[in-house]
């Protein structure tokens, strides 16, 4: 079936620095979503992309369907950015989201 | 701005019981999904409705799982009879599908424990 490989599985950042999360897809995907799981376990929508890039504050995401990957860039990380981030992709044919395994981000002072 | 709501948040059932999980999608959304999440299997699609019509009934889940959508703002997932292996988090999601693209929004989930 469709596979989504997310990396890294864990990431530690100092406050004010930045990094990128990446998801690779084994097949062509129609769209990708990025979520953050909040303290109550709910998935918070960060981005939905069918192509190109989107930016929201200190977060920026890109999706290349042809090259089969998506990235989530975090800049100027803050303590409240700590949490688990997931990508999820929708296949070209179909509607079921396939989730990555998540990235546990820890931002420390 | 209400998101997807699910009730109950937690459910404990004895083996063999019937349980009903409830979901209210985002107002105006026309797609509704029921997923099951476990550590081993990850996220599995149980049912998919488009404009209240059942499009996907979950294949292997058909025999004891039944999802219904009586109106556009309410859906239920019935598990009958429950088995211990049904213990999982059940997620409901909704989306507004236009031009073949649809961002899914998830509810907080119902954590089911079957003893």
**pLDDT, tens digit, 9 for 90 and up, residues B72-113:** 999 999 999 999 999 999 999 999 988 788 899 999 999 999
Is B104 at the interface with chain A, CB within 8 A? yes
Q: What are phi and psi of B15, to 5 degrees?
A: -55, 130
pLDDT of residue B104: 95
pLDDT of residue B4: 96
| CB-based contact A43 B42, cutoff 8 Å | no
| CB-based contact B103 A40, cutoff 8 Å | no
From A50, A95, A99, residue closest to B42, measured CB to CB:
A99
From B104, B108, B109, residue closest to A97, measured CB to CB:
B104
Hey, is B39 helix, strand or coil? coil
Angle B55-B60-B65 from CA coordinates, rounded to 5°? 70
> With 80 as the cut, is the pLDDT of residue B41 above it?
no
pLDDT of residue A94: 79
Contacts of B100 in chain A (CB under 8 A): 30
Residue in B49, B100, B101 with CA at minimum distance from that of residue B74:
B49
């Amino acid at each position: 079936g469709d596979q989504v490989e997310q990396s890294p599985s864990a990431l530690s950042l100092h406050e004010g620095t930045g990094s990128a999360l990446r998801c690779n897809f084994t097949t062509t995907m129609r769209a990708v979503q990025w979520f953050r799981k909040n303290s109550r376990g709910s998935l918070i929508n960060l981005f939905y992309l069918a192509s190109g890039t989107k930016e929201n504050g200190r977060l920026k995401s890109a999706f290349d369907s042809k090259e089969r990957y998506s990235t989530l860039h975090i800049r100027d990380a803050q303590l409240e950015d700590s949490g688990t981030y997931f990508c999820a992709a929708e296949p070209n044919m179909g509607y079921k989201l396939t989730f990555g395994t998540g990235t546990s981000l820890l931002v420390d002072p | 701005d209400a998101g997807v709501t699910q009730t109950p948040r937690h459910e404990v059932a004895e083996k063999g019981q019937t349980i009903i999980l409830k979901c209210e999608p985002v107002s105006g959304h026309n797609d509704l999904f029921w997923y099951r999440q476990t550590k081993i299997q990850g996220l599995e699609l149980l049912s998919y409705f488009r404009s209240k019509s059942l499009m996907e009934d979950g294949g292997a889940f058909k025999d004891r799982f039944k999802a219904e959508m009586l109106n556009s703002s309410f859906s239920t997932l019935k598990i009958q009879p429950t088995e211990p292996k049904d213990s999982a988090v059940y997620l409901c999601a909704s989306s507004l599908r236009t031009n073949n693209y649809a961002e899914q929004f998830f509810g907080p989930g119902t954590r089911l424990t079957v003893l």
